[in-house]
Amino acid sequence: VCQVFNTSERLWLYWENFTKDNKLSDEETAKYNLPSDLDFSESCTFIKKINISSRDFHFWWRTLIRGDMVQSHYYGEFFMERENGALGSMNVTDLSEPPNDSLEEASSAQATEAKPFETMQLMFTEGPCSVFFVKSLTEDSETGCQLYLRGGAVSKRLAQNCTEYYKKHCVKQTVIHKATCRSDVKEAQRELKKILQNL
């Protein structure tokens, strides 16, 4: 699993077999006086390595929501898990989240320790294509599937073995990547840089 993530290229999320609930609740739309059909769907999602070792992996998880770049600093801890034929697994923790506790509680080392929110099991990898089973550790939900492509492979035809594995084990294809993602991400990063320079 370490070899899949050990790249300076982006790992683009291409397909997943589930949809996320990205709509606001009625209470939230009323509270913030927002339209009820406001959509916070994610697109052009990718992983970008910060650093990696044989034990763990620091990375940026980046996605576009309504054209704006959203990013989180994630930490992955590798472990071997032979269940279901997994080729290796990683528990993922969001290091961007501030502690929910009061300042007094946050001063305790235990209160500030972030906990993993999901496990990614590498089930198939060939060339630039990798398929993961993804299981939430915070919600009671089914195990999902995600297909990632490395770098420029997103603009090429998917390898047959990769497509066949995904279709057999994951079935549903929610498309996350689109042809304009590279330019959309470049524009969003330019806008984010402008905002940060004006702070």
Which residues make beta-bridge pairs with 57?
52, 76
What is the C-alpha separation between 144 and 132, in angstroms, rounded? 8
Of the candidates 57, 58, 54, which has an alpha carbon nearest to the alpha carbon of residue 71? Answer: 58
What is the C-alpha separation between 150 and 161, in angstroms, rounded? 16
Please answer whether residues 148 and 9 qualify as being in contact, where contact means their C-beta atoms are separated by less than 8 angstroms. Answer: no
- Please report the sign of the dihedral spanned by the C-alpha atoms of residue 46, residue 91, residue 18, residue 14: positive
Backbone angles phi, psi at 58, to 5 degrees: -100, 135
What is the C-alpha separation between 197 and 78, in angstroms, rounded? 36
Backbone angles phi, psi at 170, to 5 degrees: -120, -30
Split the chain (199 residues) into runs of 10 and give each run's mean pLDDT. 96 91 68 70 95 97 92 95 79 80 41 81 96 93 94 90 96 92 93 84
Provide the residue ranges of all domains of the chain, joining segments of one domain with +.
2-197
User: Which fold would CATH assign to domain 2-197?
Assistant: Lipocalin (2.40.128)
For residue 55, the surrounding DSSP H or E stretch is: none
> What pLDDT score does 23 carry?
64
Amino acid (one-letter) located at 133? F
Non-local (6+) Cβ contacts of 36 within 8 A are 24, 26, 29
Please answer whether residues 122 and 1 qualify as being in contact, where contact means their C-beta atoms are separated by less than 8 angstroms. Answer: yes
Amino acid (one-letter) located at 172? K
Based on its alpha-carbon atoms, the radius of gyration of the chain, rounded to whole angstroms, reads: 18
> What pLDDT score does 84 carry?
67
- What are 174's two structure tokens? 């929610």
Residue 43: how many CB atoms within 10 A of its CB? 18
